[in-house]
A and B are shown apart, each in its own frame.
Chain A
Amino acid sequence: MEYANLRRQAASMKKNLFDQGYLDEQFYQLEELQDDSSPNFVEEVVTLFFRDSARLSSNIELALEKQPQDFNKLDIYMQQLKGSGSSIGASRMKNECTTFREYCKAENIEGCVRSFQKLKREHTTLRQKLESYFQLLRQVGPTERATRPGV
């Protein structure tokens, strides 16, 4: 009974992440790569992403404070962040990275700063939600497999 509840909670949590636009199809692609020989693949990749993205975020923060701003460098950092975010299906983050890069192209520093603040919030929220999701999955155990809504 408890196990069934945990499974339902995990499924509901995942559905919310998709319904609220935090994750996209790519997350399912990662889940499909998870199997008995790589039972924690998704969590490992996501953990790696948050480690890398924290580093990139620090670089971006420093680059934004520099005078004059190097918009080309900012764009490169943000493209890296967007690229790795895309690999885990971090949809909202990916979209905000695109917005930031548009401000970079326009050399609009205020826009970049606003966008970056929003990106940091999205990053924190996604990390918290995924940490809770994986914590729940660990309780459910290794039988939870990739499932798309309605399947």
Chain B
Amino acid sequence: MHFEAAASWGGYVAGPPRGTVVGDPVERIERLASENAVVIFSVSTCCMCHAIKRLFCGMGVNPTVHELDEDPRGKDLERALMRLLGSASVVPVVFIGGKLVGTMDRVMACHINGTLVPLLKEAGALWL
């Protein structure tokens, strides 16, 4: 397990033990999520992720996208997201203003029931 962690860190030999590695991805996610108004965790080849990106762009929002398959620690992040969401379908997942909104289902529902736009405005991602 330790070797696996070291390998995924691209060659850092002395990495922290597995226990703290588990906590780390979640922290990393939280950190990444609060760095920008709209943060999307995605997979570059996923078509649904493409759809959600088009949705935000179509609304005039400029989301920050983290492609998990292009991140060296992507697997850990994916696992952490799975634990956070409680489901296997992890991407795409959206954070607005540092808070978890959810996957495509939730984002769609929020947009239709009119709560998405106020959320975006509140986070400073949209100015009317």
| A, B bound | no
